[in-house]
Chain A
Amino acid sequence: MNSTNIPSHSHGKDFVGRNLFDLDDWSAEDIQVVLEATKIMKEVNKRDYKKLPTLRGKTVCTLFFENSTRTLMSFELAADRLSADIVRFSANASSLHKGESLQDTVYTVDAMGIDLYIIRHSYPGSPQLVNKYTGKPVLNAGDGPHAHPTQALLDIFSIWERTGTLKGLKITIVGDIAHSRVVRSNLIGMKKMGAEVTICGPSTLMPGYMEEVYGCKVEHDLKTALKDADAVMGLRMQLERQSEGLFPSLEEYSKLFTLSSETMKYAKKDALILHPGPMNRGVEILPDIADSKQSVILEQVTNGVAVRMALLFLILGGKM
């Protein structure tokens, strides 16, 4: 084992047993520790033998009440690499269809002896409930449009890894802001790390008071929003929003908001391109940009596993 050094606390606040509902409760120092730990985990993942024995005997439960490919795989792989046992609850195959409440479901699962929960749910605040019901630490893997803190941490890591710091960086996030948990968590995290964030999207997909609540800039014109950006993130446009009457057509949407080599000219040369996936190529992002040298979209996926390893390691008290 390398002489790696991951602190178990930052500024006196222990990581062990902590919840990650959102990044509100995690300070810039905490986030910095996560970034450093992620870097170490990423190195582990490059090895031939990608496994640490540190969480042997711990049981992690993934409670996924909503479909997910990458986040679920990423979390399960992360737990696997740290040698934790994983038990998966997926809503489709469960008694939820028999009308069991979240409360009863969680009580039942908890009776099997779980050390940490990872939950994805379409209702905001569900992670807090799981913690209330079990007293166990809970990692939020996305709760409705509210928060997706591990995604934000991997996004922040993906930028930080390239730039060394987020201080003073101009980051622009484009798309359906209203329904995005990714943007909300990123706004909190990126601001804490010192970046200036601009968000951009159609007015019907832009919630009120964003400037006031998150201290970000709001633009409705893509070119203005992209001006001098160091990093640009596109958000998935959920196709059903069109039928909800929030914008007239995908064609008109992409005309105004798509990230392309054309629109990216307004950003800084070599500005990083991010996307939390899954992408709608041709809608919010064009292939020439998604697959360009500037794009870190696949790197984000790689980093996702490392970030989640770092979090599990810190919260479950892993030892190097």
Chain B
Amino acid sequence: MILIKNGFVYTIDKKTNRQNSLRSASFNKMDVLIDDNLIVKVANTIDENCETIDAHDKYVFPGFIDLHTHLRDPGQTNKEDIYSGTRAAAKGGWTTVCAMPNTDPVVDNISTVEYLKRKAKDIGACKVLVIGAMTKKSEGKEIAEIANMLESGIIAVSDDGNCIQNTKIMYNVMKYVSKFNIPIIDHCEDYFLSGKGQVNSGRMSTKLGLSGIPALAEEIVISRDIMLSESTGCRLHIAHISTKKSVELIRQAKAKGVKITTEVTPHHLLLNENECVNFDTNTKVKPPLRTQDDVDACLTGLLDGTIDFIATDHAPHSDFEKEKEFSIAPYGINSLETAFAALYSGLVLKDKISLSFLIGKLSTSPAHFLQLNCGAIEEGMAADITISDLQKDICFTPDTMMSKSNNTPYLNKSLKGRITKTICEGNTTWEDRD
């Protein structure tokens, strides 16, 4: 048994409806008792003669849950693998990550799903849930063996990184998936419009002479998907939303009762296109960093419930891949380790959102979405717990990154909100020794 004493514990208001994703929460000084892999007691004072963690002046959160992680395993393990990726996750306070299938080979069949599950169980430092591909090799041509993968426990399907351009194929995929109770997660991008785009189409692309990715490239596909979801009844989850109009489209669709959900990344909540001005390839990402207007709209959408939760789109790339001319560097931001500190420093400390709201969007809401027995610190819940010293700085240097890669715009920068300990199913997966 493990006892966490004297911390400020994230407490969901019991009076509100569990199904309501806007449940309110607060922090109360409480003790938390863990037995094996479950939380067995939460009370004002617990006395138990067992291993005790002093969380005095610290905050105790339910472990974070990331719906959008690129672990790069199998096949791209120069960037990341299950060992490093799950340790980066643990350091960032995550206890569950969902692995995107665009690896090499693509996770489009049972054996790859089983490989990921087994490897994660053997060497992982957090729970890894598997997302299967929508189409074979994510080529957007033939439907993958989704029912088979479902038997192996995939939690969603996605061709993330690719966007099915052929509407008929997308229609068929959604019609097929509509009979299973899983969502499809779509990376929305019209490739004719985005072309060779490097940054947001706007002031920055004009200024830097880089080709732009217009907001329209995302919005047109979201519009299409909404109509396809209405027609097929398929659960639709829009990945990494980035524009004001996209937020508005989803707001309207939700009002109409479409089965649609969406996520936003930390970088689309915190950074705008101006970050790209010095050709820093760590700011090159898809969808691109947009305008401040878009950033503000994403935050509004998160606050009013249009956007369901935050997901990282953790996309590691090796130094040698990112240390290139902007135009040929790969897209992606390394985010698992920086996400909480960046969001805490950039939003909570600036009074834009409350800490409890942030934790809800990192843990409670995604847990609800995935129907997991976590996301709250309550009796009977999984013992997935993240403890943070909010006063303490954290600096992200190549030496201290647990990820194999360093491609974050926060590299060598200091932020507030350090994760001091992460517990996943009762096991300590991260312990800050600094």
Q: Are B325 and A123 in contact (CB under 8 A)?
A: yes
Is B168 an interface residue when CB atoms closer than 8 A count as contact? Answer: no
Kindly identify, within residues 184 to 242 of chain B, every residue whose CB is under 8 Å from any CB belonging to chain A.
Answer: 201-203, 205-210, 212
Which stretch, A34-42, A164-172, A204-212, A266-274, touches the partner chain B? A204-212
Q: Are A128 and B279 in contact (CB under 8 A)?
A: yes
B243 to chain A, nearest CB (A): 15
**Nearest-CB residue, chain B, relative to A65:** B325
Across the A-B interface, give the 7 residue pairs with the lowest CB-CB distance, nearest first: A125-B279, A146-B209, A145-B209, A123-B325, A207-B206, A123-B327, A209-B203
Is A309 an interface residue when CB atoms closer than 8 A count as contact? Answer: no
Q: Are A124 and B210 in contact (CB under 8 A)?
A: yes
Can you name 15 A-B residue pairings with CB atoms under 8 Å? A102-B325, A121-B325, A122-B327, A123-B325, A124-B210, A125-B327, A144-B210, A144-B327, A145-B210, A146-B209, A181-B209, A208-B201, A209-B202, A209-B203, A213-B206
Count B interface residues, CB 8 Å: 19
Task: Using C-beta atoms within 8 Å of the partner chain, give the interface range for chain A.
Answer: 20 to 34
Q: How far apart are the CA atoms of A210 and B205 in the complex, in Å?
A: 11
Contact with B along A91-115 (1 / 0, CB 8 A): 0000000000111000000000000
A47 to chain B, nearest CB (A): 38
Q: How far apart are the CA atoms of A124 and B324 in the complex, in Å?
A: 11
Q: Are A123 and B206 in contact (CB under 8 A)?
A: no
* Of the residues A103, A125, A207, contact of B205 by C-beta under 8 Å: A207
Q: How far apart are the CA atoms of A198 and B202 in the complex, in Å?
A: 19
A173 to chain B, nearest CB (A): 15
* Of the residues A123, A184, A207, contact of B328 by C-beta under 8 Å: A123
Q: How far apart are the CA atoms of A61 and B324 in the complex, in Å?
A: 20
B residues with CB within 8 A of A? 201-203, 205-210, 212, 278-279, 320, 323-328
Q: Are B209 and A184 in contact (CB under 8 A)?
A: yes
**Nearest-CB residue, chain A, relative to B323:** A103
Q: Which residues of B contact A102 (CB under 8 A)?
A: 324-325
Q: Are A124 and B209 in contact (CB under 8 A)?
A: yes
Q: Are A124 and B279 in contact (CB under 8 A)?
A: yes
* Of the residues A103, A128, A147, contact of B324 by C-beta under 8 Å: A103
Q: Which residues of A contact B206 (CB under 8 A)?
A: 207-210, 213
Q: Are B278 and A128 in contact (CB under 8 A)?
A: yes
Is A32 an interface residue when CB atoms closer than 8 A count as contact? Answer: no
B219 to chain A, nearest CB (A): 16
Q: Which residues of B contact A212 (CB under 8 A)?
A: 203
**Nearest-CB residue, chain A, relative to B195:** A244
Looking at B205, B207, B209, B212, which has the most chain A CB atoms within 10 Å of its CB? B209
Contact with B along A207-223 (1 / 0, CB 8 A): 11110110000000000
Q: Which residues of A contact B325 (CB under 8 A)?
A: 102, 121, 123, 125-126, 129
Q: How far apart are the CA atoms of A123 and B327 in the complex, in Å?
A: 6
Q: Are B326 and A125 in contact (CB under 8 A)?
A: yes
